């Protein structure tokens, strides 16, 4: 078998400079040049310095990497850095500890319980709409959507709003993404305990995030009404159906922090990017605003298409536990494997005219591999809050588009692939109130 092809990169640093400059662009370009399996050298490749990672872009290989836990594990650089940053929750845990947490947490996100948050989401969507004048004002969609999703997750978690910490959380999410991404790309990752400037910044961000979580948790009495509808009370009362055990205070803190961060940041990004694209498609907006029988399906399809073009979880990783093959190439045990929804969602074999925003891709039935689309991951570790996020997104989109016409201001949007995909700066749009039928 031949060696896996890939970009030559810098003689000493490999692909590190290209990834630091434009990771998503580098991934796309190498896929176009080398195909479904690409090798990326980080570092010089000699003297034990650096490593080579292999990307799997075809849906069949993505499925194997996500589903075959006997061959592909999660003890990777990326997940280690996330664990250092936000502790041990569903995202970073492995083995039986993860299975225990999953059995407990998934009780909070059954279809019936997610549907029960519909009124809360509708109220927060109406609050978001009411705070916008509709006089043609230009707003930052990302700020608007972050505040909406933070309020939803705050009220869903604690039964109350978290307005007092919204500003600080927005700041810390950005800092966390920047510092942890930089640490992930380091060829030499010094222990976090050493007081380098980057380590001090990451430790300070982590301390402040933990302090926010602790303060909010301390404000919620442990003897709260067990019949309360918020997620925190349910989490404290939930028990593993196999063992009867619950989660410790530390475990609850780490899960709550994960809910606060992942539960708002990914959905806010998906909404921002979807609205940015809809702002250039008044025809789709008008069909949604008409509130006909197709409106609900079209709103959901628009969100799903937004997450295809701009997957919040743009890349993830696995590590080979044994010698194996990817796309016919031999891959040794211990190899880091990159999975990139950003690239796979643009695979021309499954997504014609892949860079065009087209919600009709998700209306009706379409023949494509299951793992050609994976904004929420897949397999046993698929995002437990997927239905919550989709409902939260469709509720606010319907409310906004029923009341306003959205016009994208400018056509370029610079992206930053940190822990999640984020816009690099404001995403501006003009919101203009719709004139009700019969009114002139």
Contact 287, 41 (CB under 8 A): no
* Predicted local confidence at residue 189, as pLDDT: 80
- Residue 175, pLDDT > 90, answer no
Closest CA to 139 of 232, 49, 271, 315: 271
Q: Rounded distance, CA 168 to CA 177, Å?
A: 14
* Orientation angle between helical segments 118-130 and 386-403, nearest 10 degrees: 40
DSSP states of 48-62 as a string? T-SEEEEEE-SHHHH
Q: How confident is the model over 39-89, as pLDDT tens digits?
A: 999 998 776 788 999 999 999 999 999 999 999 999 888 888 888 888 888
Enter the tokens of residue 181: 């991404």
CATH code of 16-433, in short, is: 1.10.630.10
Q: What's the mean pLDDT when you consider all of the chain?
A: 90
* Predicted local confidence at residue 437, as pLDDT: 46
b/e for 62-100, b at 16 or more Cβ within 10 A? bbbbbeebebbbbebbbbbbbbbbbbbbbbbbeeeebeb
* Predicted local confidence at residue 225, as pLDDT: 56
What's the pTM value of the predicted model, to 2 decimals? Answer: 0.92
* Predicted local confidence at residue 440, as pLDDT: 43
Q: Rounded distance, CA 365 to CA 293, Å?
A: 18
By three-state DSSP, how is residue 403 classified?
Answer: helix
- 67 vs 176 pLDDT, higher one: 67
* Predicted local confidence at residue 226, as pLDDT: 54
Q: How confident is the model over 333-353, as pLDDT tens digits?
A: 999 999 999 999 999 999 999
Banded model confidence at residue 227, pLDDT cuts 50, 70, 90: low
Would you put residue 172 in left (φ > 0), alpha (ψ -120 to 50) or beta? alpha
Q: How confident is the model over 87-126, as pLDDT tens digits?
A: 888 888 888 999 999 999 999 999 999 999 999 999 999 9
* Predicted local confidence at residue 223, as pLDDT: 47
The C-alpha angle with vertex 272 and arms to 157 and 352, in degrees rounded to 5, equals: 120
Q: How confident is the model over 358-369, as pLDDT tens digits?
A: 999 999 888 999
- Residue 6, pLDDT > 80, answer yes
Q: Rounded distance, CA 49 to CA 54, Å?
A: 17
* Orientation angle between helical segments 249-278 and 95-105, nearest 10 degrees: 70
Strands 51-56, 336-339: pairing is: parallel
- Residue 438, pLDDT > 70, answer no
């Amino acid at each position: 078998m031949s060696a896996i092809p890939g970009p030559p990169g810098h003689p000493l640093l490999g692909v590190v400079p290209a990834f630091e400059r434009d990771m998503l662009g580098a991934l796309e370009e190498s896929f176009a040049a080398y195909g479904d399996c690409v090798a990326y050298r980080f570092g010089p490749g000699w003297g034990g310095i650096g490593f080579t990672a292999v990307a799997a872009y075809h849906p069949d290989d993505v499925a194997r990497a996500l589903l075959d836990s006997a061959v592909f594990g999660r003890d990777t650089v990326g997940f280690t850095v996330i664990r250092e940053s936000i502790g041990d929750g569903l995202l970073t845990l492995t083995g039986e500890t993860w299975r225990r947490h999953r059995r407990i947490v998934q009780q909070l996100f059954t279809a019936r319980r997610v549907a029960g948050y519909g009124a809360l989401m509708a109220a927060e969507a109406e609050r978001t709409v009411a705070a916008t004048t509709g006089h043609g004002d230009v707003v930052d969609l990302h700020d608007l959507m972050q505040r909406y999703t933070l309020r939803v997750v705050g009220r869903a978690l604690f039964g109350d709003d978290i307005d007092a910490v919204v500003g600080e959380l927005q700041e810390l999410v950005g800092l966390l993404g920047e510092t942890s991404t930089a640490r992930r790309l380091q060829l030499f990752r010094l222990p976090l305990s050493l007081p380098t400037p980057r380590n001090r910044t990451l430790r300070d961000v982590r301390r402040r995030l933990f302090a926010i979580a602790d303060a909010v948790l301390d404000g919620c009495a442990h003897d709260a009404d067990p019949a309360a509808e918020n997620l925190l009370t349910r989490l404290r009362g939930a028990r593993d159906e196999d063992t009867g055990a619950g989660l410790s205070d530390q475990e609850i803190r780490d899960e709550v922090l994960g809910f606060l961060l992942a539960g708002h940041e990914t959905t806010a990004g998906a909404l921002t990017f979807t609205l940015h694209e809809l702002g250039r498609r008044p025809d789709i907006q008008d069909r949604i605003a008409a509130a006909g029988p197709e409106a609900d399906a079209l709103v959901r399809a628009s969100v799903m298409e937004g997450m295809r073009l701009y997957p919040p979880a743009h890349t993830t990783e696995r590590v080979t536990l044994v010698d194996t093959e990817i796309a016919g190439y031999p891959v040794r045990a211990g190899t880091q494997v990159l999975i990139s929804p950003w690239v796979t969602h643009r695979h021309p074999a499954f997504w014609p005219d892949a860079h065009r925003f087209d919600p009709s891709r998700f209306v009706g039935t379409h023949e494509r591999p299951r793992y050609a689309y994976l904004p929420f991951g897949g397999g046993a570790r698929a995002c437990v809050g997927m239905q919550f996020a989709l409902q939260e997104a469709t509720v606010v989109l319907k409310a906004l588009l029923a009341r306003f016409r959205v016009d994208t201001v400018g056509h370029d949007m610079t992206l930053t692939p940190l822990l999640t995909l984020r816009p690099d700066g404001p995403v501006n749009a003009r919101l203009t109130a719709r004139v009700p039928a019969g009114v002139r």
